[in-house]
Amino acid sequence: MSAAQAWSHTTVLLTEAVQALVTQPAGLYVDGTFGRGGHARSVLARLAPTGRLLAFDKDPEAVAAAAQITDARFTICHASFADMPAELAARGISQVQGVLLDLGVSSPQIDNPARGFSFRFDARLDMRMDTTRGETAAEFLERAPARQIEEVIREYGEERFAFQIAKALVARRESGAPVRTTGELSALVARAVKTREPGQDPATRTFQALRIHVNAELEALEQGLAAALALLAPQGRLVVIAFHSLEDRIVKTFIARESRDVPDRRAPFAPAKPMRLKAIARIKPSAEEIAANPRARSAVLRVAERTEVAA
């Protein structure tokens, strides 16, 4: 099997997401997470000749893959979806008809050993989505105090053995042999974690936590949701696919908060701030999709629509 085949990506909830997103085919849409273009190509197929799609991705390999799309209606930006306002403003765009965020790590990122995302391969412990900037996971573990490492693993990995793992990482570092590869980290976690759910590798939660921290994923998600809301035209759609509870909780809370009238506590007799979103749907993958693509099993798609009321 060639590397291209081994690192292919199956887009999760493809039909459901694109159908929910594209309600005005002549409109302008944003794909905040291009990945390998599964959603983007499907969006372009549904757009009218006058429609447009602006895509974002932090990963230089994803941006390079986007060059294969020659459709004049398509533009790719090497940036985080959190940077949507500045990127769109630079293009003279103030409103869009829809924003799609697929928060999953793409299969080429997981399956390419060189990226350091997976404990299935022994490779340099990198984990950065954007390999052109920022601190790698290995660099973080080499300089962070034990307390910070513990907090990252507990909060972002929901790992009950975070203290033991952090203690072992620091002890190894102080011995003069800091963890620098995925194999070293996986072996260390396996020794520190005494029990684990059936079928789950002991390192799963720790790898998730470090990836989220290195890429500031939850902070970017909060910024991206706020940016999407500010950009959506009335009746525009926000479509988000989350793959773990931390992400989905943020999305669910954001939609719920913006889907109700909010009174101004500083002016109790003033009219409440009107709702800005209307929750439309919560969709899980079908049994058939999960059977064909096991990585889809934890996905949750949430759809909300911008109300007619101005912010």
pLDDT digits (tens, 9 = 90+) for 210-222: 999 999 999 999 9
Pick from 197, 214, 231: which residue ends a domain? 214
Give the global pTM. Answer: 0.89
Count of the separate structural domains present in the chain: 2
> Which pLDDT score, from 0 to 100, does residue 200 have?
81
Roughly how many angstroms between the first and final C-alpha of the chain, as a whole number?
52
pLDDT of residue 45: 98
- pLDDT-derived band of residue 267, with 50, 70 and 90 as boundaries? low
* Residue 207 resides in a domain: yes
pLDDT tens sequence across 46-79: 999 999 999 999 999 999 999 999 999 999 999 9
Residue 5 has pLDDT above 90, yes or no: no
Q: Answer with the residue of higher pLDDT: 114 or 171.
A: 171
User: pLDDT (tens digit, 9 = 90+) per residue, 17-45?
Assistant: 999 999 999 999 999 999 989 999 999 99
Is the domain of 142 the same as that of 209? Answer: yes
What is the structure's pLDDT at 192? Answer: 95
- Whether residue 246 is contained in a domain is answered as yes
Q: 178: domain range? A: 131-214
Task: Specify if 187 maps to a domain.
Answer: yes
Give the CATH number, domain containing residue 197.
1.10.150.170
Tell me whether residue 176 is in a domain.
Answer: yes
Is residue 117 in some structural domain? Answer: no
Is residue 182 within 8 Å of 119, Cβ to Cβ? yes
Q: Residues 166, 287: one domain?
A: no
Domain boundary among 214, 231, 253: 214
Q: Are residues 193 and 70 in the same domain?
A: no
My answer on whether 102 and 233 are in the same domain is: yes
Mean pLDDT, the chain, integer? 90
Note whether residue 123 is domain-resident. Answer: no
**Looking at the domain assignment, is residue 27 inside a domain?**
yes
DSSP letter for each residue of 84-132: HHHHHHHTT---EEEEEEE-SPPHHHHH-GGG---TTS--B----SSTT
* Residue 124: exposure state from Cβ atoms within 10 A (0-12, 13-18, ≥19): middle
Same domain for 95 and 53? yes
Domain match, 103 and 7 both? yes
